[in-house]
């Protein structure tokens, strides 16, 4: 058994910030997360992080990881399969190895929504992607589509417009839900063609994606010939693997937390996009703030139970 004071589950900005603070509080901890940097790494540009006028999500994630490691943090890049409570300890099962601690911080963030279309998985990696930052370079001088109407779709379209020949931005509603600055840039980019009030109903292609079918005609056709399709339609909190802990969640499955980031279960805290905190402003800066608050609260909690 690997024993710690704190197990941080997740590897995004909330988790890595919590690690920095935990190290400064001399809290013996381990960070366990599969996607280092979290969904932040998929952001083409982050322009609202203080001190950085513009930085890619990937680069910011690397900086946060290096910062945490500079304080001696132990970071394990893998997935936790189960969390259970035994007496006064929480046990995390990781690839057949058990890690225990009296406190745990859940910072697993969110996962992308899929379209739910037949054979969708068939095209994943063969024209279909959920990460423009990861895969845009494969579509240089090609025609691509982006599905979504929020900031992730808008920024993905703008990133792809720097690389692809043509970008179709397909929005199921009659307007965008993103920030005005991204909407203005997308509307003024001559490589981006916006298609409102439309859904993708089918993916077409033998070995790879060759076209998509729309539920209404666009330019006298219900098909678009494209080489790639990027799905940017939101995300859901990753809460499934700790259902047995009976943590209080809201109707959208976000974890309910108090001002100190504590859950309804003593010793369990949560931070970042997985929570309904920070007025549900799911941003890197709020994730970091919640991670910092959680680490401070955990330090105080540990002092209390050890007294």
The model's pLDDT over 87-114, given as tens digits with 9 standing for 90+, comes to 889 999 998 899 999 999 999 998 888 8
Closest among 185, 189, 192, 151 to 169, alpha carbons compared: 192
DSSP states along 56-106: -HHHHHHHHHHHHHHTT-EEE-S---EEEEETTEEEEEETTEEEEESEEEE
Task: Give how far Cα 254 sits from Cα of 206, 241, 275, Å.
Answer: 39, 14, 5
161 pLDDT exceeds 80?
yes
Q: Considering 93, 131, 179, 222, which one is annotated as catalytic? A: 131
* Together in a domain, 159 and 17: no
**pLDDT for the residue numbered 47:** 80
User: 7 vs 135, which has greater pLDDT?
Assistant: 7
Active site residue 135: yes
* Together in a domain, 219 and 280: no
The CATH number assigned to the domain holding 171 equals 3.50.50.60
* Together in a domain, 172 and 105: no
Of 189, 209, 231, the residue at which a domain comes to its end is 231
Q: Considering 135, 227, 273, 288, which one is annotated as catalytic? A: 135
Of 199, 216, 231, the residue at which a domain comes to its end is 231
Of 231, 259, 274, the residue at which a domain comes to its end is 231
Closest among 287, 297, 292, 222 to 43, alpha carbons compared: 287
Active site residue 288: no
* Together in a domain, 22 and 79: yes
pTM: 0.79
> Per-residue pLDDT tens for 127-148?
998 888 778 888 999 999 999 9
The tally of domains found in the chain comes to 2
Full residue range of the structural domain in which residue 221 is found = 120-231
235-239, 241-245, 275-279: which is most confident:
275-279
Q: Considering 95, 134, 215, 243, which one is annotated as catalytic? A: 134
Q: What percent of the chain has pLDDT over 90?
A: 69
111 C-beta neighbours (distance < 10 Å), count: 14
* Together in a domain, 124 and 227: yes
29 pLDDT exceeds 80?
yes
**pLDDT for the residue numbered 152:** 87
Torsion angle (degrees, nearest 10) of CA 8, 10, 15, 16: 110
Active site residue 134: yes
């Amino acid at each position: 058994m690997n024993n710690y004071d704190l197990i941080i589950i997740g590897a995004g900005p909330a988790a890595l910030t919590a690690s920095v603070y935990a190290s400064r509080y001399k809290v013996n901890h381990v960070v366990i997360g599969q996607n280092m940097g979290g969904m932040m790494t998929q952001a083409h540009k982050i322009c609202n992080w203080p001190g950085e006028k513009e930085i890619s999500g990937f680069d910011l994630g690397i900086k946060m990881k290096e910062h945490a490691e500079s304080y001696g943090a132990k970071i394990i890049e893998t997935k936790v399969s189960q969390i259970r409570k035994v007496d006064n300890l929480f046990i995390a099962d990781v690839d057949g190895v058990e890690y225990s601690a009296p406190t745990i911080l859940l910072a697993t963030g969110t996962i992308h929504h899929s379209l739910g279309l037949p054979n969708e998985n068939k095209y994943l990696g063969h024209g279909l992607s959920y990460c423009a930052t990861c895969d845009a370079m494969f579509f240089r001088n090609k025609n691509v589509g982006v599905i979504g109407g929020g900031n992730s779709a808008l920024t993905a379209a703008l990133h792809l417009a720097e690389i692809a020949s043509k970008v179709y931005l397909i929005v199921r509603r009659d307007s965008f839900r993103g920030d005005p600055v991204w909407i203005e840039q997308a509307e003024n980019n001559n490589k981006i063609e916006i298609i409102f009030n439309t859904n993708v109903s089918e993916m077409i292609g033998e070995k790879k994606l060759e076209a998509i079918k729309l539920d209404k005609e666009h330019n006298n056709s219900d098909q678009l010939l494209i080489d790639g399709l990027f799905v940017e339609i939101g995300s859901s909190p990753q809460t499934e693997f700790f259902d047995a802990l009976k943590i209080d969640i809201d109707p959208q499955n976000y974890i309910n937390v108090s001002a100190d980031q504590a859950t309804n279960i003593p010793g369990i805290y949560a931070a970042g996009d997985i929570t309904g905190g920070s007025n549900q402003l799911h941003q890197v800066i709020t994730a970091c703030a919640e991670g910092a608050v959680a680490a401070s609260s955990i330090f105080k909690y540990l002092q209390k139970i050890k007294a």
